[in-house]
Amino acid sequence: MSEVSRNAPHPNPLPLAGEGTNAEGLNLLWLQSGGCGGCTLSLLNADCRNLFDTLQGIGINLLWHPTLSEQSADEARAIIESCASGETRLDILCLEGAVLKGPFGSGGFHKTTGNASMMELITQLSKVARHTLAVGSCAAFGGITAGGSNPTDACGLQYDGDSQGGLLGEDYRAAGGLPVVNIAGCPIHPHWVVETLASLAAGELREEHLDVFRRPRIYADHLVHHGCTRNEFYEFKASAHKPSDLGCLMENMGCKGTQVHADCNIRLWNGEGSCLRGGYACIACTEPGFEEPGHPFGVTPKVAGIPIGLPTDMPKAWFVALASLSKSATPKRVKENAVADHQVITPACKRTRLK
């Protein structure tokens, strides 16, 4: 091994089949299927000094990762076969990317180095895994890989869009009793993965901790709308009309943050960013079917001037009444700043006599 690779951060040398593993931790095997690998890239931005040390610290032994590990193809296959046979305990199976079932259900569009289909390998490993995790919306629901005419017949591990089934079927339960845990996102926030793994390692993740689409509630119990820096504009229905405007992006620019389950504006990327803080509308990437909204991502479809996508728990009549009242009460500062690319009127300074 070169001095460069010897000093680079990487998992500790991994045992081959039959050499045993650390009995004190959970063994994790990570596979990549039909996708871009963006969830792994996002995971590397976890807010920790060294991702691999962090995983070991919470009790996770990374057996193999196709992008991050150094094993040769033969060594990797030995690890995978040892897991499949039960010789090496497989506690957590993580899949990144959609399962490619085509053509005609053969899985032949995605072959492994041993000429078996990835679909067959995933099916085999899921039968012995104590926990099975879908990392990213492709693995969870099919995602962008399943968009369009879907010639590869891509689907998620236990969902095909918003319908239960997927590759493993709606009745699938891993050996630990849980269904597939869907860490949905395109890409995932790194801490969604790290905290889910930590919960599993601590024995604290149960089915009641998953939402209706089996996403961890640590992030799925929030809306992207929560913590959005544009909330004052939303409250007064002071809307942006072009991408550079500061106003709320819901009415005209396609933002679905009031409907989408994630804590993106509370748990920021790299401690400071989110799509909305970067000027981009929320496109619902944690939700099944986000890849085909039926309209351009940057456009809000309307009926009689009213956006089709309203806050999930607000009756339309109430929203219309509130919007009308809010717009009539919009301060000049909020109204003018909403359609500018910088703050043109600052908040007024008044003696408040607060003690």
Please give the structure tokens belonging to residue 88: 């090496």
pTM for the whole structure: 0.89
* Secondary structure element (H or E) that encloses residue 324, with its range: helix 316-328
Asked if residue 5 has pLDDT above 70, the reply is no
Residue 112 pLDDT more than 60? Answer: yes
> Where in the chain are the domains?
3-220, 222-339
Beta bridge partner(s), residue 60: 26
Distance CA(177)–CA(104), nearest Å, equals 31
CA 232 – CA 16 distance, rounded (Å): 56
**Residue 355 pLDDT:** 61
CA–CA dist 205, 318 (Å, integer): 37
Q: What is the pLDDT of residue 17?
A: 31
The pLDDT tens digits for 247-258 are 999 999 999 999
Q: Which among 280, 171, 182 has a CA at the least distance from the CA of 224?
A: 280
Query: Which segment of 9-18, 28-37, 56-65, 219-228 scores lowest on mean pLDDT?
Result: 9-18
Whether residue 187 has a cis bond before it, omega within 30° of 0: yes
| C-alpha dist (Å) from residue 288 to 185, 265, 280, 283 | 10, 20, 20, 11
Measured CA to CA, the distance from residue 227 to residue 188 in angstroms comes to 18
Q: Percentage of residues in the chain with pLDDT exceeding 70?
A: 93
Helices (H) and strands (E) in the chain, counts: 11, 11
pLDDT per residue over 127-155, tens digit each? 999 999 999 999 999 999 999 999 999 99
Angle at 58 between CA 54 and CA 60, to 5 degrees: 90
Measured CA to CA, the distance from residue 330 to residue 263 in angstroms comes to: 28
Q: Say which amino acid occupies 52.
A: F
**pLDDT band at residue 354 using 50, 70 and 90 as cut-offs:** low
Average model confidence (pLDDT) for the chain? Answer: 90
CATH 3.40.50.700 is held by the domain 3-220? yes
Q: Do domains 3-220 and 222-339 have the same CATH topology?
A: no
Q: Is CATH 4.10.480.10 the right assignment for the domain spanning 222-339?
A: yes
Distance between CA 222 and CA 333 in Å, rounded? 29
Rounded Cα distance between 129 and 114, Å, is: 21
Cβ 32 vs Cβ 67: under 8 Å: yes
The mean pLDDT of 300-316, rounded to a whole number, is 84
* Count of residues in the chain: 355
How far apart (Å, rounded) are the C-alpha atoms in residues 155 and 147?
Answer: 10
